[in-house]
Amino acid sequence: MKPIVQISLDLTNIDEALETAAMAMRAGVDWLEAGTPLILAEGLHGVKKLRAAFPGVPIVADLKTMDGGYLEAEMMAKAGATHVVVMARAHEETIKCVVKAGKDFGVKVMGDNLGCNDMVAAARWLEDLGCDYIVHHIGYDERRGIAAQGKRMPSPLDQLGAVVKAVNIPVQAVGGLSLEQAIKCPAYGAPLVVLGAPLTIDADAFRTADGNLEESLRLICKKIHSYGEVNK
């Protein structure tokens, strides 16, 4: 598939999220993500507002579902989301419920392997259960906690190649990537490139970063899209 640029709206105010999303669309971003902070702050009403403002644009609802999978996926689908996220650490039945809701309501399911002891096996398991995409994810708290101990922060790039080889569905890498690393994800066979905290969003305050973000995003999107087709 062709590389896709997704911006994670990890904001807590819908007006700022809408403004950031509009800027991202002008810059060439393909998908919008209602990040977990935005969903916590605004709920499905925030997703509805994104859908009303951007008809036809794919919207990922980063629910990080752990239980009540069918209802959560149904609610976000009806609000206008095209993709929902379920965690590999959830019970198998929860993942199956999200997958069923995805089929019933026409949304794609992204399985997230954050916190799994064997992230490669978790990705394979998520695919076996019917997920459409893999989110290979090193968590914010995990990264900061390990760094606070004076140790090297883990990176999703550490195992990205192995995850890509283990599955036959598209993969995205999330968690502390630099701009240079994010741009190179398609070269690893991971065509879904996520831009968010700390790339385009202030990771601590969860507000838009300073600087000419639109022009930077335009250049980033151009670089990522230039990779062409990726074998996933």
* Alpha-carbon span 7 to 197, nearest angstrom: 9
* CA nearest to 83, candidates 75, 97, 92, 73: 73
The stretch 223-231 carries a mean pLDDT of: 86
* Alpha-carbon span 218 to 224, nearest angstrom: 10
The stretch 91-97 carries a mean pLDDT of: 98
Point out the least confidently predicted range of 88-92, 134-138, 179-183.
179-183
**pLDDT tens for residues 115-158?**
999 999 999 999 999 999 999 999 989 999 999 999 998 999 99
* Alpha-carbon span 148 to 27, nearest angstrom: 35
* Alpha-carbon span 109 to 70, nearest angstrom: 11
pTM as predicted: 0.92
Q: Is the confidence at residue 20, as pLDDT, over 50? A: yes
Which residues make beta-bridge pairs with 135?
A: 112, 172
Question: What pLDDT, on the 0 to 100 scale, is given for residue 84?
Answer: 98
**pLDDT tens for residues 38-62?**
999 999 999 999 999 999 999 999 9
Residue 192 is encoded by which pair of tokens? 């879904």
DSSP string for 1-69: ---EEEEEE--S-HHHHHHHHHHHHHHT--EEEE-HHHHHHHHHHHHHHHHHHSTTS-EEEEEEE-S-H
Structural domains of the chain, with CATH: 4-225 (3.20.20.70)
- How far CA 145 is from CA of 20, 141, 154, 198, in Å, comes to 29, 6, 11, 16
Q: Is the confidence at residue 105, as pLDDT, over 90? A: yes
Which residues make beta-bridge pairs with 65?
A: 86
Better pLDDT: 48 or 176: 48
